[in-house]
Amino acid sequence: MEPNYENNNYNLQGTSQNGYPQNGYQQNGYQQNGYQQNGYQNNQFGYQQNFNGYNVNNGISGFSNAFSEAAEALRQKVVAQSFLFMVAALAVTAVGAKIGTEFMLQWMITNPVNLIILFVAEVAIVIVSNIALKKNNVVLSASLLTAYSFINGATLGVVCMGYVETSVTKVFIITAVMFAVTAFYGLVCKKDLSSVGSLCLMGLIGMILVGIVNIFLKSDGLGYAASFIGVAIFVGLTAYDTQKIKAKTAFADESNVTALSINGAFELYLDFINLFLYLLRIFGKRR
């Protein structure tokens, strides 16, 4: 009777599953060609993922990390400058309200058509500013933001004349707090807010139409209800625009950082001003 080599003390050409697995040495006498992973467990010379003696991650990973750090620095710079330029635009708005309100009031009273001219001019500034961004024209973008902020300040000055000054100050503080909290949420939120932005933009179009209709209806109730909706819309747009600025930083380089920052500041400025106006209608104390 022939000895049993199948599942006894020896298996696979004299190799024991209990003693020496597979030919006395695992895989031709050496574990993976005599050394585990080229003679060293995980390459004891400190190389990670050794490939023909070269470290895959030592050079390439180092370059990748440096590149990532540089890109992250640019991203942070764009976001920081966007908020800095927005604050500067608000300061210009305050100056415009201080020295331009009387002139703007007289200009509006002289001819009601001037209101339409003013509206068209502000829309044109926004459109041209977007064109300047695409051409990376920093000087034109900064000039348009400054001009818009000053004109808007004079216009806001006229609006604020209908409210008690202390009331305007309180509403401004409320707006600043709400804006800061919402913008922070937009920066840290991991969820894509594109759907929120689209919904808010559609709501904004609806609000414009309601405002036009209410010019003829002159309904205080409708205007009051629209103000609450307006606050919700611009809270959503603030979070969305902040996240959008962060997303745009993926295209940032040393040549377009300032242009991207000015464009981001423009969007944040519009969100802040509109949020302020709607809150003023709700909480402002009229004269």
Burial of 50 (0-12, 13-18, 19+ CB in 10 A): middle
Burial of 241 (0-12, 13-18, 19+ CB in 10 A): buried
List the chain domain ranges. Answer: 57-283
- What amino acid occupies position 55? N
If phi > 0 it is left, if psi is from -120 to 50 it is alpha, else beta; for residue 41 that is: beta
Which tokens in the block code for residue 139? 């000087």
Which tokens in the block code for residue 104? 């703007």
Token pair 């807010």 in the structure block, residue = 193
Identify the sign of the CA torsion 46, 50, 53, 55.
Answer: negative
Token pair 């574990």 in the structure block, residue = 31
Q: What share of the chain is helix, strand, coil (3-state, %, to 5)?
A: 70, 5, 25
Which tokens in the block code for residue 51? 């490939």
Strand partners, 191: none
Long-range contacts of 41-46 (CB under 8 A, 24+ apart): none
**Do residues 148 and 125 make contact, with C-beta atoms less than 8 angstroms apart?**
yes
What is the enclosing helix (H) or strand (E) of 99?
helix 56-110
Return the ∠ at Cα 69 (arms to 137 and 265), rounded to 5°.
35
**Do residues 189 and 243 make contact, with C-beta atoms less than 8 angstroms apart?**
yes
For 147, residues 6+ apart whose C-beta sits below 8 A from its C-beta are 125
The span from the CA of 154 to the CA of 189, in Å, is 35
> Measured between alpha carbons, how far is residue 279 from residues 36, 158, 208, 283 in Å?
70, 16, 17, 6
Strand partners, 51: 54
Tens-of-pLDDT digits for all 287 residues of the chain? Answer: 444 444 444 444 444 444 444 444 444 444 444 444 444 444 443 444 443 443 444 444 443 455 577 777 888 899 999 999 999 999 999 999 999 899 898 888 888 788 888 888 888 998 898 888 888 889 999 999 999 999 999 999 999 999 999 999 999 999 999 999 999 999 999 999 999 999 999 999 999 899 888 888 888 889 889 999 999 999 999 999 999 998 888 877 877 889 899 999 999 999 999 999 999 999 998 88
Q: Residue 50: its pLDDT value, please?
A: 43
